């Protein structure tokens, strides 16, 4: 089976968030299962050629966009630590400059962003053809590749499409006339192109949802939630109509990369049996680097994530006085919405002895927070899957999460009496409900035996991609059967 994986991000070559982590890990796990997989993505100029050896395949394709012809050069690298080929599509008019996304907030506010990914999507099938690859399955990720299933249908080959929704909140909408003129198609080419929202926009994630042969999202709970008005962003009807063709597969994490036994960003390697000393060393370094009093008895709560409303940091100000009264420390790392950045900086400015906020993207500091914190906060308003909570558990740091999407599927409430469970889970999106679980965590922290059990429970969870990759193979096989039937 040949699978081409089309993506806008890939960790570590070009990472912004969890989508990159999936793209960097799932194809490797698929290759281990014997799938003949390649990745195809834009060749951003932020991709560091010194770190990731890049060769020119010698192949070029011409793509007609907005009535003009453009040349796309096909370069090649591999996913680091594997032989999985990554084809990098280079074109200075649309694909190369400006980082992975032009927008910092993951929202689309300009045609520039839309154009980039329309152009990329238009180049994917011709580039694969030039490389002599006719995939059985074209696996498309998020709105950036939302038009690809339609392009595959119009091309009429044997390739079937799977569209994976990583985050329904980011949709990629733009004026239909501009989109159609750029891609050079009309509604006669495909009926889904006639769909408009109330602003006469075409919604690229909706195109993917409607046109792909199968659709999935990144956790079973999120697959159910997006059928509701609350989480469906107006697409709940379209998603409901897909019936059994929509499913949820939990993401894994790259357990090779996120591994406290080999992590270079932590001071002392550790496993489940040596977690006490390893985590103590990481905690001391984290406190020291953060400029906080170094004290092993003080509970440290960590947060790493994009600062958007999704991540729920706005619940913190409503509980912070109670938090400070306990003497605990809070270490936050994130970047995103300037309003939330200022809010997190403001909290730290008021209590510099207990709270530290770092604004920015810092992979090394993130690892130190995962390892050195006593608890990891993920109070998300919604969370398609979430990787932070799984990474934290892998490092023996119990997460405190809201029961939504993948957080609900991966974290079970800890019961000190039975020793069962992996973290702390609250339901209502309120500071009150969040505080109840933080207070519970602090109680457990005071009970060394219970806390040690909880840490061990976390570190012995299996979040590797193996299981999830098998579920993806099952979906690919379903597409194959579907193929035979049509
Ligand atoms: P999302 O995809 O919604 O951003 P996930 O939890 O699925 O959230 O994945 C986020 C990934 O990005 C995690 O690996 C997390 O550690 C990383 N990350 C997010 N923000 C930062 C940051 N400011 N610095 C370093 N790593 C970050």
**Mean pLDDT across the chain, nearest whole number?**
96
Cα of 162 from ligand 1 centre, angstroms: 24
Given a contact cutoff of 8 angstroms between Cβ atoms, the answer to whether 300 and 355 are in contact is: no
Q: Where are the alpha helices (DSSP H) in 351-464?
A: 363-372, 388-394, 405-410, 431-445, 448-459
Spacing of C-alpha 17 from chain mean position: 5
Cα of 62 from ligand 1 centre, angstroms: 35
**Residue 423 corresponds to which tokens in the numbers above?**
């973290």
pLDDT of res. 106: 65
Q: Which protein residue has the closest C-alpha to ligand 1 atom 9? A: 18
Residues near ligand 1 with C-beta < 6 Å?
17-18, 21, 304-306, 333-335, 361-363, 366, 385-388
pLDDT at 346 over 60: yes
The percent of residues in the chain predicted with pLDDT above 70, rounded, is 98
Q: How many C-beta atoms lie closer than 10 Å to residue 99's C-beta?
A: 12
Q: Which protein residue has the closest C-alpha to ligand 1 atom 19? A: 305
pLDDT at 31 over 60: yes
Cα of 17 from ligand 1 centre, angstroms: 5
Q: Which protein residue has the closest C-alpha to ligand 1 atom 8? A: 18
Average of per-residue pLDDT across 173-200: 95
**Residue 26 corresponds to which tokens in the numbers above?**
């799932």
pLDDT at 108 over 90: no
pLDDT digits (tens, 9 = 90+) for 234-264: 999 999 999 999 999 999 998 988 999 999 9
Q: How far is CA 15 from CA 23, 169, 399, in A?
A: 9, 19, 23
User: Which atom of ligand 1 lies at the shortest distance from residue 389's CA?
Assistant: 6
pLDDT digits (tens, 9 = 90+) for 122-136: 999 999 999 999 999
Alpha-carbon gap, residue 435 to 232, rounded angstroms: 28
Question: How many residues does the structure list for the chain?
Answer: 486
Given a contact cutoff of 8 angstroms between Cβ atoms, the answer to whether 217 and 246 are in contact is: yes
pLDDT at 295 over 60: yes
For the chain, the 3-state helix, strand and coil shares in percent, each to the nearest 5, are 40, 20, 40
Q: Which protein residue has the closest C-alpha to ligand 1 atom 20? A: 305
The secondary element (H helix, E strand) that includes residue 415 is: none
Q: How many C-beta atoms lie closer than 10 Å to residue 69's C-beta?
A: 8
Question: Of 249, 77, 225, whose CA–CA distance to 163 is shortest?
Answer: 249
**Residue 332 corresponds to which tokens in the numbers above?**
């936050």
Q: Are strands 201-203 and 173-175 parallel, antiparallel or unpaired?
A: antiparallel
pLDDT of res. 482: 56
Mutational test site, ligand 1, from 304, 371, 390, max ligand atoms within 8 Å of CB: 304
pLDDT of res. 96: 96
Rounding to the nearest 10 degrees, give the CA dihedral for residues 409, 411, 413, 417: 120
pLDDT at 76 over 50: yes
pLDDT digits (tens, 9 = 90+) for 438-463: 999 999 999 999 999 999 999 999 99
The percent of residues in the chain predicted with pLDDT above 90, rounded, is 94
Alpha-carbon gap, residue 444 to 143, rounded angstroms: 42
pLDDT of res. 486: 36
Residue 349, exposed/middle/buried by CB under 10 A (0-12, 13-18, 19+)? exposed
Given a contact cutoff of 8 angstroms between Cβ atoms, the answer to whether 42 and 89 are in contact is: yes
**Residue 22 corresponds to which tokens in the numbers above?**
């999936």
Cα of 159 from ligand 1 centre, angstroms: 32
User: Which atom of ligand 1 lies at the shortest distance from residue 306's CA?
Assistant: 20
Q: How confident is the model at residue 305 (pLDDT cuts 50, 70, 90)?
A: very high
What pTM, to 2 d.p., does this model score? 0.93
Q: Are strands 246-248 and 300-307 parallel, antiparallel or unpaired?
A: unpaired
Greater model confidence, 167 or 104: 167
Given a contact cutoff of 8 angstroms between Cβ atoms, the answer to whether 328 and 298 are in contact is: yes
Alpha-carbon gap, residue 111 to 65, rounded angstroms: 14
* Three-state SS at 280: helix
Q: Where are the alpha helices (DSSP H) in 269-426?
A: 275-290, 320-325, 338-350, 363-372, 388-394, 405-410
Cα of 475 from ligand 1 centre, angstroms: 27
pLDDT of res. 105: 66
Q: Which protein residue has the closest C-alpha to ligand 1 atom 26? A: 363
Mutational test site, ligand 1, from 21, 167, 305, 313, max ligand atoms within 8 Å of CB: 305
Question: Of 472, 383, 484, 482, whose CA–CA distance to 139 is shortest?
Answer: 472
Cα of 464 from ligand 1 centre, angstroms: 17
Say whether the peptide bond before residue 7 is cis (omega within 30 degrees of 0). no
Alpha-carbon gap, residue 335 to 357, rounded angstroms: 10
User: Which atom of ligand 1 lies at the shortest distance from residue 21's CA?
Assistant: 14
Q: How far is CA 403 from CA 171, 249, 263, 373, in A?
A: 24, 17, 29, 21
Q: Which protein residue has the closest C-alpha to ligand 1 atom 4? A: 17
Q: How far is CA 373 from CA 306, 318, 331, 366, in A?
A: 18, 22, 8, 10
Query: For residue 447, what is the DSSP state?
Result: -
Alpha-carbon gap, residue 303 to 365, rounded angstroms: 11
**Residue 237 corresponds to which tokens in the numbers above?**
């009807």
Alpha-carbon gap, residue 244 to 233, rounded angstroms: 20
Cα of 335 from ligand 1 centre, angstroms: 10
Cα of 42 from ligand 1 centre, angstroms: 21
Residue 410: phi and psi, rounded to 5, are -115, -15
Average of per-residue pLDDT across 390-395: 98
pLDDT at 483 over 60: no
Cα of 483 from ligand 1 centre, angstroms: 37
Q: Residues 6 or more apart from 23 whose CB is under 8 A from it?
A: 5, 7, 9, 10, 11, 39, 41, 141
């Amino acid at each position: 089976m040949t699978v081409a994986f089309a993506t806008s991000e890939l960790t570590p070559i070009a990472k912004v968030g969890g989508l990159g982590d999936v793209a960097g890990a799932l194809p490797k796990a698929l290759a281990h299962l014997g799938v003949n997989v390649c990745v195809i993505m834009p060749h951003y100029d932020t991709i560091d050629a010194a770190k990731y050896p890049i060769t020119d395949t010698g192949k070029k394709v011409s793509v007609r966009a907005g009535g003009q012809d453009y040349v796309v050069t096909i370069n090649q690298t591999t996913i680091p630590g594997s032989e999985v080929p990554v084809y990098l599509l280079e074109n200075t008019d649309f694909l190369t400059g400006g980082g992975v996304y032009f927008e910092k907030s993951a929202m689309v506010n300009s045609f520039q962003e839309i154009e980039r990914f329309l152009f990329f999507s238009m180049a994917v099938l011709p580039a694969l053809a030039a490389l002599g690859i006719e995939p059985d399955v074209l696996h498309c990720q998020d709105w950036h590749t939302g038009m690809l299933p339609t392009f595959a249908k119009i091309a009429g080959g044997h390739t079937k499409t799977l569209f994976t929704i990583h985050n329904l909140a980011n949709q990629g909408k733009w004026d239909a006339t501009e989109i159609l003129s750029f891609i050079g198609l009309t509604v006669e080419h495909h009926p889904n192109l006639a769909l408009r929202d109330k602003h006469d926009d075409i919604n690229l994630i909706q195109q993917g949802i409607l046109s792909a042969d199968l659709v999935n999202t990144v956790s079973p709970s999120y697959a159910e939630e997006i059928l509701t008005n609350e989480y469906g962003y107006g697409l709940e009807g379209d998603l409901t109509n897909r019936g059994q063709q929509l499913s949820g597969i939990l993401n894994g994490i790259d357990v090779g990369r996120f591994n406290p036994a080999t992590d270079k960003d932590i001071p002392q390697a550790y496993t489940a049996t040596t977690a006490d000393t390893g985590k103590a060393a990481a905690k001391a370094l984290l406190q020291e680097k953060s400029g906080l009093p170094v004290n092993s008895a003080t509970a440290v709560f960590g947060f790493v994530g994009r600062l958007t409303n999704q991540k729920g940091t706005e619940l913190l100000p409503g509980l912070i006085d109670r938090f400070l009264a306990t003497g605990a420390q809070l270490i936050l790392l994130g970047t995103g919405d300037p309003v939330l950045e200022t809010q997190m900086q403001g909290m730290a400015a008021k209590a510099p002895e207990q709270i530290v906020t770092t604004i920015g993207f810092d992979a090394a500091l993130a690892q130190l927070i995962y390892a050195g914190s006593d608890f990891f906060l993920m109070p998300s308003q919604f969370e398609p899957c979430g990787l932070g909570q799984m990474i934290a558990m892998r490092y023996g740091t119990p997460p405190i999460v809201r029961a939504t999407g993948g957080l609900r599927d991966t974290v079970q409430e800890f019961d000190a009496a039975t020793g069962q469970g992996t973290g702390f889970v609250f339901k209502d999106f309120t500071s009150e409900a969040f505080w109840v679980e933080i207070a519970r965590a602090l109680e457990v922290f005071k009970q060394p035996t219970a806390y040690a059990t909880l840490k061990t429970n976390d570190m012995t969870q299996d979040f590797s991609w193996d299981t999830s990759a098998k579920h993806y193979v099952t979906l690919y096989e379903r597409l194959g059967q579907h193929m035979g039937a049509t």
